[in-house]
């Protein structure tokens, strides 16, 4: 195993913020669905109306869409707003 291979398999823990709560994350990426689950554990949600926005990541701030993922960075902030229910 080379040093590059060892670095690629090393698990790095970063702290992300999801709806103002600190979360320890061990993956290099996080999916839309994982962020929503961290924000609202075990609760059903409407992917068409649930908005996930992030800041302090790589590049400009953006929204994360259903079925997509993003590379995480220590201190990254996620804001999750559930769909309005009438």
The pair phi, psi for residue 22, each rounded to 5°, is: -75, 135
Average pLDDT of the segment spanning 62-78? 94
Question: For residue 10, what pLDDT is reported?
Answer: 60
Question: For residue 58, what pLDDT is reported?
Answer: 79
Span 4-55, pLDDT tens digits = 555 555 678 999 999 999 999 999 999 999 999 999 999 988 888 899 999 9
pTM of the model: 0.81
- What residues contact 77, with CB distance under 8 A and at least 6 apart? 16, 17, 54, 55, 56
Question: For residue 29, what pLDDT is reported?
Answer: 95
User: What residue segments make up the domains of the chain, in order of their start?
Assistant: 38-73
């Amino acid at each position: 195993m080379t040093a590059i291979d060892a670095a690629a398999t090393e698990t790095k823990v970063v702290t992300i913020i999801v709806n103002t709560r600190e979360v320890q994350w061990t993956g290099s990426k996080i999916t839309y669905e994982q962020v929503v689950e961290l924000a609202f554990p075990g609760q059903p949600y409407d992917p068409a109306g649930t908005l996930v926005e992030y800041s302090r990541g790589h590049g400009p701030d953006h929204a994360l869409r259903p079925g997509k993922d993003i590379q995480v960075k220590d201190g990254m902030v996620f804001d999750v707003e559930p769909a309005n229910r009438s």
